[in-house]
Amino acid sequence: MIEFLSGAVTLGFLVGAVFFARFWRRTNDRLFLAFSIAFVLLALNQALAWYIGDADERVGYTFMLRVLGFVLILIAVIDKNLSKA
């Protein structure tokens, strides 16, 4: 059951990334590109967590993918505020 949900979440993040990519194409706003990549990273994080599984994912560095995703979002938000407002 957990594997199933883990796979569903991975796919969900990827679909979210696709939506953000569409929004980026439509509005040309870099923020959406950053969100799209960030969500791909979240998907990768989820997939790796499942793959590594019982071999404790927390000891490894898979969580770094997640952190990287949010750092990317942070950079994008900062960029948005510095370049226009």
Partner 1 sequence: MHTVTFVLTSLAALTSAGCMLLLFRAYARTGLRLLLWSALCFVFLTANNVLLFFDLVVFPGPEIDLRVYRLAANLAAVLFLLYGFIWEAE
Partner 2 sequence: MASDDADFTDEFCRFLQDAVPGVDAAELLLLLQRESARAWSAREAAAALAPGVTLSEAEAGRHLEGFRVRGLVVAEADGRLRYEPAAEPLAQHARTLDKVYRERPVTLIRVIYGLRDKKIRSFADAFKLRRK
Minimum separation from the CB atom of position 5 to partner 1 (A): 6
> Does position 21 bind partner 1 by CB under 8 A?
no
Q: How far apart are CA 16 and CA 81, in angstroms?
A: 24
Q: Which of residues 26-85 bind partner 1 (CB under 8 A)?
A: 42, 46, 49, 56-58, 63-64, 66-67, 69-71, 73-74, 77
CA 58 to chain centre: 18
Q: Among partner 2, partner 1, none, what does residue 44 contact (CB within 5–8 Å per kind)?
A: none
CA nearest 82: which of 31, 39, 21?
31
- Tell me the longest C-alpha to C-alpha distance in the chain: 47
- The half-sphere exposure of 66 on its side-chain side, counting CA atoms within 13 A, is 12
Binding site for partner 1 (CB under 8 A): 2, 5-6, 8-9, 12-13, 15-16, 19, 23, 42, 46, 49, 56-58, 63-64, 66-67, 69-71, 73-74, 77
